[in-house]
Amino acid sequence: MLKINLTQPLVYGTQFKPLSTTLHCILLMCLTLLISSCNKPTENQNVSISGSVTLINDSNDPTLNPLDFSGVTVALYDQAILDTTIVRINHDYQNIGVQISQETEFDHRYQSPIAVTTTTSDGKYVLNNIPVGIYNMVFFKQRWSIVYKYNVNAQRQNGSNNMGAEEIFPAEEVSGFVNSAFTFQDNRTYFIANDTSFLDQAIFQTGSVIMVNSGVSVTFYDTVTTINGETNQKFWRICSSYNAYSSETTQLSSANYFNSVSYRGDNVSINNGLFRHVSNGIIIAAQNAHVHDIDLKDFDSGVLFDNSQCSIDKVNIRSGNIRGIQALSIDDSLSISNSIIYKNSDGLIIYTGGGFLVSNTFFYDNETAIRPENCTGVIQNNNFELNSVDILQYLSNCQILKNNFYFSKGLSIRPRSFALINYNNFYKTGQYFINIRRLDGSHTYVQANVDAKQNYWNVTNIDDYILDASDNVNYPGQECPYFVITTNRLSNPNTSAGILN
């Protein structure tokens, strides 16, 4: 109980004079009101969300003609948690990769709903006792399209939030050979249960969803085009169909992944797609290909360019079990720019006779960020952070210019054959910035001294972080014949290095 002695001396030695009876009464009333307000129960902040669903059968299947609008599951979910590293990169470098959002991250199978109900015969639904907040909402019914609503704002509006009417159309099953032009429509779901080939033009409307059974391959032999749908969604999606109509939490593993999606037409442009749960990746065997504004996540192998002249820009390649991007070509060139390569076993493997350019790309927490093999190219204006190895050459000639090597957990660069390493910023490494020494054969990975001049080194004892001929004393009988030349060192970081905004 709070006790107040009105005649207790003040800290500084003064003393209250006794108050009048009137003032005592006023003070007592104020204290009573204060105590009663503190004991008053907190007003219930929970609300309801309501709305209605209409099932519209525009297919040629009379078995889908609804007798009523009952049985549609309406589930409310907490928002997906965004990866803070990707959010940071998106914020700091807004011109690279895909900006992640609820649209890119939310999949209802990954979490349990906080509330779920089904529609009545007239299609109405109510979700009660919902804490005020922002959520994602999902509508689904067997054989009908799955509809997502992102960023549903449950506010105190007389305790009720009406979502209005939602139209749901039949899901479509596609399989075998599709001989005529095909459009994947906005706000529709397409199920592919068996290997399927599209022999004519394919059009993807943003907001369409393609769900593929495990082990199944999808192939496009003609042109592919992306157009905006009528909803506000920015992407179309292709993913596993496993447990699509379930509100239970699902663990999607490689066993549930579909096999591949292949593009074999000429002059292919792939954009605004979300690719999920694929084993052998996106296979591009087109004569010319441009891939941009796509997000590939949760896969075994990512993008494979098979004898294709190709360019990639503004893509996210993340969480790959094997490799993110692989280019195999005899004489075609490869260009990768303005992208995010994140948490893959191998981020980028390049084997091409036509040369390559990798620029303005963030490589983060890959086992090996870039692996050039039997090729010639330029690696310029990139950021490398928390990779085990940043650049691992194999019989390749590379110019490595104006990059930021923030922190390699193991090794920044292992040149092989030839490397020109200039104007970079080297900040931190767990072992070595550059290693040209091998323990067998000629005891060197290179064929001449390595030019690593005019770089910034954030260490004073640079030789401790370079492994070359100067370390021969520590390797008796295994003399490396070549040195890494680090003269003309920059005294300050090169401000033109790294990703250019």
Q: Are 216 and 192 in contact (CB under 8 A)?
A: yes
Average pLDDT, the chain: 92
What percent of the chain stands above pLDDT 90? 84
Q: What is the CATH number of domain 173-485?
A: 2.160.20
Please give the distance of CA 113 from its chain centroid, rounded to a whole number: 23
Question: What's the rounded mean pLDDT across residues 281-301?
Answer: 95
Token couple for 79: 């928002």
Q: What is the pLDDT of residue 29?
A: 53
Mean pLDDT of 51-70: 96
Per CATH, the homologous superfamily of domain 47-81+98-168 is Immunoglobulins (2.60.40.10)
Among 3, 249, 269, 289, smallest CA distance to 109 is for 249
What 3-state class would DSSP assign to 33? helix
Nearest to 234 by CA among 362, 85, 100: 100
Q: pLDDT-based confidence at 107, cuts 50/70/90?
A: very high
Residue with tokens 């290997």: 195
| Mean pLDDT computed over 407-429 | 97
Angle at 465 (CA atoms; ends 461, 470), nearest 5 degrees: 85
**395 close to 375: Cβ distance less than 8 angstroms:** no
Can you name the residues that pair with 267 across neighbouring β-strands?
none
Could you give the CA distance from residue 60 to residue 62 in angstroms, rounded to a whole number? Answer: 6
Q: Beta strand pairing status for 160-168 and 46-55?
A: parallel
Structure tokens at 332: 């075609």
- For residue 223 the two structure tokens come to 């042109």
Residue 44 pLDDT class (50, 70, 90 cuts): low
Q: What is the pLDDT of residue 102?
A: 98
| CA 460 to chain CA centroid, nearest Å | 37
First to last CA, the chain: 62
Domains of the chain by residue range: 47-81+98-168, 173-485
What percent of the chain stands above pLDDT 70? Answer: 91
Please say whether the beta carbons of 327 and 311 come within 8 A.
Answer: no
Q: Compute the C-alpha angle 359/327/398, nearest 5°.
A: 50
Q: Is the pLDDT of residue 256 over 70?
A: yes
Instruction: Quote the pLDDT of residue 157.
Output: 72
- Give the model confidence (pLDDT) of 454-478 as tens digits: 999 999 999 999 999 999 999 999 9
The answer to whether 467 and 434 are in contact (CB under 8 A) is yes
Cα distances from 409 to residues 364, 394, 493, in angstroms, run: 11, 20, 21
| Residue 45 banded pLDDT, cuts 50, 70, 90 | confident
Query: In angstroms, rounded to a whole number, what is the distance separating the alpha carbons of residues 62 and 301?
Result: 41
